[in-house]
């Protein structure tokens, strides 16, 4: 079916964010969204098929097994919007279940044009599905998708893959509240959340044996070299994955192996690193299945149903706006 991409959105300030994150006093950090350039997105696709990283397979298994049950809980005609289109593979199950009863408009919302294009080529051939992509930040795109819906049409928002895990807990809850503010009562949010699991399994998922996650992390420095004319020596930093038990999150860091300084021409700065100092590049929060209904309730939803994978602790949560 026909596809369309709506509106180009202005780039975020990569140079400014890099400068601010590396010059801040104390722990240096870089926003994890910058991990996903074309190389980083391709590396994440590889991560998602690694034996150590069960998250994506668990998510897809749950959607494959339960999509009919999931969509049968939504009675009206449904417009589907997805925050972060990903590769589109998992979404196919939901769209297939829906097209058994209705023609379906699917609005992937994604700031990466390459990811959006990939999703459109993966799903664009489906019968009875029209794709309207929004190259925008999540909430802008969701607002645009919501305003495109017809009367008596409910919105089904997909937020899969435990992307919520990249937000700090407070910010994640605030984000769910902001999504809720765009919804009407009866609209739905399908939220995928990775769950706590034994420490060795958790750490291996973010420090795989063939080094793909290490490459994914180091690519952030390579990207800064490429796009901001910097001189990071990638052999002088090492990938590290730690579990912060107090915060219940995996942290990815890049550890400086020596005292060194790096010039980032595009950000107009030189940054010095002490040996063993780290740059914190990503957090991946883990949840307990029973805390999701409580969070949902605090921000204006009721948890209608929850499906938990038996092989890899991961939950699909169907939240209905009240
Ligand atoms: C795409 C955010 C769900 O946190 O597990 C995978 C990203 N980082 N390996 C995650 C990621 C390192 C992933 N999410």
Q: What is the pLDDT of residue 5?
A: 64
Q: What is the pLDDT of residue 114?
A: 81
Over 70: is that where the pLDDT of 308 sits?
yes
Strands 269-273 and 260-264: antiparallel
Over 70: is that where the pLDDT of 274 sits?
yes
Contact 40, 272 (CB under 8 A): no
Between 304 and 2, the more confident residue is 304
C-alpha torsion angle, residues 180, 81, 283, 231 (rounded to 10) = -130
- 273-279: which pairs have CB atoms within 8 A and are 24 or more residues apart? 273/28, 277/28, 278/27, 278/28, 278/240, 278/253, 278/254, 279/21, 279/22, 279/28, 279/29, 279/30, 279/237, 279/253, 279/254
Over 90: is that where the pLDDT of 10 sits?
no
Per-residue confidence band for 8, with pLDDT thresholds at 50, 70 and 90: low
Ligand 1 midpoint to CA 76 (Å): 33
Tell me the average pLDDT of the chain: 95
Task: Average the pLDDT over 19-45 and give the result.
Answer: 95
Task: Average the pLDDT over 309-317 and give the result.
Answer: 97
Ligand 1 midpoint to CA 31 (Å): 13
Both tokens assigned to 43: 């590396």
Mutate to test the pocket of ligand 1, among 32, 33, 36, 44 (most ligand atoms within 8 A of CB): 44
Per-residue confidence band for 113, with pLDDT thresholds at 50, 70 and 90: confident
Ligand 1 midpoint to CA 282 (Å): 8
Ligand 1 midpoint to CA 185 (Å): 31
Matching residue, tokens 């668990």: 58
Q: What is the DSSP letter of 314?
A: E
Mutate to test the pocket of ligand 1, among 247, 284, 287, 313 (most ligand atoms within 8 A of CB): 284
Which residue, 159, 116, 157, 172, is CA-closest to 284? Answer: 172
Return the percentage of the chain with pLDDT > 70, whole number: 96
pLDDT per residue as tens digits for the range 131-154: 999 999 999 999 999 998 998 999
Over 70: is that where the pLDDT of 279 sits?
yes
Distance CA 300, CA 25 (A): 37
Q: What is the pLDDT of residue 6?
A: 65
Q: What is the pLDDT of residue 4?
A: 64
> Using CA positions, which residue lies closest to atom 2 of ligand 1?
163
Burial 31-55 (b: 16+ CB within 10 A, else e): bbebbbbebbbebbbebbebebbbb
Q: What is the pLDDT of residue 3?
A: 59
Both tokens assigned to 208: 């795989």
C-alpha torsion angle, residues 205, 169, 37, 227 (rounded to 10) = -120
pLDDT per residue as tens digits for the range 206-240: 999 999 999 999 999 999 999 999 999 999 999 99
Contact 215, 240 (CB under 8 A): no
Ligand 1 midpoint to CA 99 (Å): 30
pLDDT per residue as tens digits for the range 150-202: 989 999 999 999 999 999 999 999 999 999 999 999 999 999 999 999 999 99
pLDDT per residue as tens digits for the range 78-111: 999 999 977 788 999 999 999 999 999 999 999 8
> Residues near 12 by Cβ (< 8 Å), separated by ≥ 6?
33, 111
Query: How many residues in the chain?
Result: 322
Ligand 1 midpoint to CA 164 (Å): 10
Ligand 1 contacts (CB < 6 A) are 47, 55, 161-163, 165-166, 206, 213, 282, 284
Q: What is the pLDDT of residue 11?
A: 54
Q: Please state at what angle helix 14-23 crosses helix 212-228, rounded to 10 degrees.
A: 110
Ligand 1 midpoint to CA 270 (Å): 29
Mutate to test the pocket of ligand 1, among 282, 283, 312, 316 (most ligand atoms within 8 A of CB): 282
């Amino acid at each position: 079916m026909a596809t369309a991409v709506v509106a180009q959105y202005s780039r975020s300030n990569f140079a400014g964010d890099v400068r601010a994150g590396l010059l801040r006093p104390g722990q240096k950090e870089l926003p994890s969204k910058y991990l996903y350039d074309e190389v980083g997105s391709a590396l994440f696709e590889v991560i998602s098929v690694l034996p150590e990283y069960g998250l994506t397979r668990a998510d897809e298994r749950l959607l494959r097994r339960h999509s009919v049950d999931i969509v049968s809980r939504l009675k009206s005609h449904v417009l589907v919007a997805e925050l972060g289109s990903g590769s589109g593979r998992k979404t196919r199950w939901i769209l297939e279940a829906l097209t058994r009863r209705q023609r379906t408009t699917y609005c992937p919302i994604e700031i990466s044009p390459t990811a959006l294009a990939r999703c459109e080529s993966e799903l664009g051939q489906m019968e009875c599905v029209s794709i309207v992509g929004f190259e925008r930040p999540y909430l802008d795109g969701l607002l645009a998708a919501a305003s495109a819906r017809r009367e008596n049409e409910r919105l089904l928002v997909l937020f899969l893959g435990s992307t919520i895990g990249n937000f700090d807990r407070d910010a994640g809850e605030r984000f769910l509240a902001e999504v809720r503010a765009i919804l009407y009562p009866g609209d739905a949010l399908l939220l995928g959340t990775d769950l706590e699991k034994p420490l060795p399994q958790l750490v291996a998922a973010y420090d795989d044996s063939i080094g793909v996650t290490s490459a994914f992390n180091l690519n952030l420095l390579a990207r800064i070299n490429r796009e901001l004319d910097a001189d990071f020596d990638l052999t002088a930093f090492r990938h590290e994955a730690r579990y912060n038990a107090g915060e219940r999150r995996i942290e990815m860091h890049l550890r400086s192996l020596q005292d060194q300084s790096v010039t980032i021409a595009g950000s107009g700065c030189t940054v010095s690193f002490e040996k063993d100092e780290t740059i914190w590049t990503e957090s991946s929060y883990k949840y307990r299945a029973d805390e999701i209904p409580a969070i949902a309730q605090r921000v204006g939803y009721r948890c209608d149903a929850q499906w938990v994978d038996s092989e890899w602790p991961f939950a699909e949560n169907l939240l209905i706006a009240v």
